[in-house]
Amino acid sequence: MNLQTENLDGSKQMPHPLRRIARSAGLSTIVLMTGAVWAQDDGAPSASEMHASQSNESAGEPTTDTEQAFSWSVSGGDIYQFETDINGGGRYSVNRTFLGAGVEFKYSPALTLDFDIGMEWDNYDFTGKGPFSKPAAGDPWGSVFDLTLSAVSRWRLDDEWRMILGGFIRWSGENDADFSRAFTGGGVFGGAYVFSDDLSLGATALVTTQIEDGLLWIPSPIVDWKINRQLFISNMRGPVTYPASLGLEIIYYLNEDMNISLGGRYEYRRFRLNDDGPAAIRDGVGGERTFPVWLRFEWRPMEQIRLHVLAGVNFGQRLELENSQGSTLSRRDTDPSPFIGCFLGFRF
């Protein structure tokens, strides 16, 4: 029996609750965005079926079938965040474009290796004047690019326990930012326990350096709970390229090819600025915090393809502007802003 489950981005892979924590599409959120699903959706075999198959395989033997050992994925999407007011004056909007690709190597039934690249382009549009943009004497920043390379190992310790260990390096900066001053890096580790066919719980921890700031530790739970055949509570089932990552969703399956979900999470972006503008902000640091809540629709027109359309509102938004040493120059909250997006994933 095939031990692979289907990802919502169009992929099929060994079921594992932790790969979503490992694959990054730029680390633009506070949690690394990855690409897998620990879930028995309507088109996937049950955990009991998988366990029965696993018992017939040797966990220590390398996989010899090259076609089965390697799989590739490509996914991308776009989100437009509508214009909103910045407290004290001024407005801003942003268009975010995401692109990711990865290869998965199943060394054995117990060990899988993932190598991924994720990219994000954020094109900001600031208008008007106010306290936030005053230190910049104009637009605080323009277009920001984020690139992340990651390598992750995943272990199936037994029928119940799963473990992950990985690392990443990331570059995040405005156009023409100093290349050598926009790097960060870190690692992720964690585990999950399969209580039953319907419930998997776990936790991960991510540690990363920050631009002009100290180490950041990010604990995060893993949740995948099948309430009934159609209703799930999970943070493992969103689009791969969009860093919805570990935002929690309530998901309702209309049929085996379509579902709708309501979800939310916390995001934080931090990036190096270029050397344009007044001396105070040259080679400085920009930051953006938000709490998005969304409604998502997924359609799987064929086995290798996943299409997601979503709409939502960003709450609790805050913009930050710092100098080249990380000292705060300006920090302002903004009004809530609506957004819409679309994502498409392929697996081959």
What are the Cα distances from residue 205, in Å, to 155, 164, 242, 320? 16, 10, 20, 25
Which structure tokens are listed for 9? 């981005």
Mark residue 111 as left, alpha or beta (left: phi above 0; alpha: psi -120 to 50; beta: remaining): beta
Given pLDDT bands bounded at 50, 70 and 90, which one contains residue 35?
very low
In the chain, the domains with their CATH numbers are 5-347 (2.40.160.40)
Express each pLDDT in 115-174 by its tens digit.
Answer: 999 999 999 999 999 999 999 999 999 999 999 999 999 999 999 999 999 999 999 999
Q: What is the pTM of this model?
A: 0.82
Half-sphere exposure of 204 (CA within 13 A, CB side): 29
Which pLDDT does position 78 carry in this prediction? 96
Express each pLDDT in 289-329 by its tens digit.
Answer: 999 999 999 999 998 899 999 999 999 999 999 999 999 99
Which pLDDT does position 55 carry in this prediction? 38
Express each pLDDT in 91-116 by its tens digit.
Answer: 999 999 999 999 999 999 899 999 99
Q: Is the pLDDT of residue 66 over 90?
A: no
Selected residue with higher pLDDT from 15 and 330: 330
Supply the DSSP string of 97-161, one letter for each residue. EEEEEEEEEEEETTEEEEEEEEEEEEEEEEES--TTTGGGTS-S--EEEEEEEEEEEEEE-SSSE
Selected residue with higher pLDDT from 43 and 204: 204
Which pLDDT does position 62 carry in this prediction? 56
Give the whole-angstrom CA distance, residue 41 versus residue 60: 28
Nearest to 96 by CA among 326, 336, 314: 314
Q: Is the pLDDT of residue 34 over 50?
A: no
